[in-house]
Amino acid sequence: MKKLFIIFAILCLAAPAMAADWGFYGSARMTTFYATVDSDVEGVDNVNRTDWYLNDTSRIGAKVKASDNIMGGFEYSGAANLRKLFGVYVFGGGSSLLVGHTYPPTSQRNYSTTVYGLGGDASLMGAGQFYTSRRAMLMWSTGGFKIALVEPTYPKDNAGAGYVVDLIIPKIEAAYKFKGDTFFLDVFGAYHSYGEDYATGNDPDIQSYVAGIGGGMNFGVFDFKLGGHVGQNFGNYGAIATYHAGLPPINTVAGTDANQETVDNAAFGGLAVVNFNVSDMWSIQAGYGYESAELDTEGAEAETVMQAYLQAKVNIAPGFFIVPEVGYVSYDYDRTVGPNDPNPNLVYFGAKWQINF
């Protein structure tokens, strides 16, 4: 935190001397929830817990405009970890090139605003919403189309296991969003590949990909969104796997067989969200998300996670709101995770508190 304030103070002192428009902002967010976890393992009691912490999504940052063609921004989390740092060059005709660290094309959609899990503001990530967080990249945009070469995700060279990583290309991501007056439609896709070179034996290649589609319609005070995605080896790609109250996420990582060949992990997910704006003071949202992954090997069983929730957003004052939420989460694990194919679940209730400044 001390490092964050030092950075902020330097930027505040330097900003007046810079020939640019600086717009600083911040967001403080707190999670206050209670959850009951049923492990579904005989002889293991339910676990009751309180989640009371500053959200990982709390932030402080700035949007900067240096000229009509040059702009950028940065964000740091409450723990002084870098969230964003990027610059944008705008070409004639509306096209632009982004250089830096921010959301890649596959992570620029949040249909749900569920707040519980993943350190706060989970948004059904890994439980119906495909998401890889922020990465370093080069991204070209024009109209509603984006294409990016993104920082790859891969294991470090492992001398103990006897292999080194063979990496040739970065991740490739693309997305397109079409917006009408009362509806939108978007599609996205991504591909990633790397190899593991062993001193002896086979050298498995691990190829990850995802393709997704989503959309929504707005009927004034009422709107809904639907989305789905399918692919393989999401864990190797770097997709976020949801977790709640200490329960481990489902396995979305490729494996290897006895011949040291790749065993792919086929995965898919989807979500549905309905929102009703009761008044300017508050709104109600209900959502459902589902994710499944299964190794392509004899005897393997699918692992799944399902989450359903109901929340309200209560506006207290401009920039200050509370989000009460109640929900249910159910996992189904393969036997490799625990005994007797456990199906743990949890019930949670509480609220997120947020002040934007």
pLDDT per position as a tens digit, 115-145: 999 889 999 999 999 999 999 999 999 999 9
Distance between CA 95 and CA 97 in Å, rounded?
7
Region 2-356: CATH code = 2.40.160.10
pLDDT of residue 99: 98
CA distance 357 to 342: 44
pLDDT cut 90: percent of the chain above it: 74
Q: How far, in Å, CA of 11 to CA of 22, rounded?
A: 10
**pLDDT at residue 13 in the model:** 46
* Averaged pLDDT, 193-214: 90
**Average of pLDDT values for 89-102?**
95
Task: Please provide the average confidence, as pLDDT, over all residues in the chain.
Answer: 91
What is the per-residue pLDDT for 17?
45
pLDDT band at 210 (very low <50, low <70, confident <90, very high): very high
**pLDDT-derived band of residue 339, with 50, 70 and 90 as boundaries?**
low
Domain locations in the chain as residue ranges: 2-356
8 versus 194: which is more confidently predicted?
194
**What pLDDT shows up at residue 298?**
87
pLDDT band at 353 (very low <50, low <70, confident <90, very high): very high
Tell me what pLDDT residue 336 has.
61
Query: Taking the model in full, what pTM does it have?
Result: 0.90
Q: Check residues 299 and 326 and name the one with the higher pLDDT.
A: 326
Q: For residue range 241-260, list pLDDT tens digits in order.
A: 988 888 889 999 999 888 88
Q: Give the model confidence (pLDDT) of 283-312 as tens digits.
A: 999 999 999 999 999 888 999 999 999 999
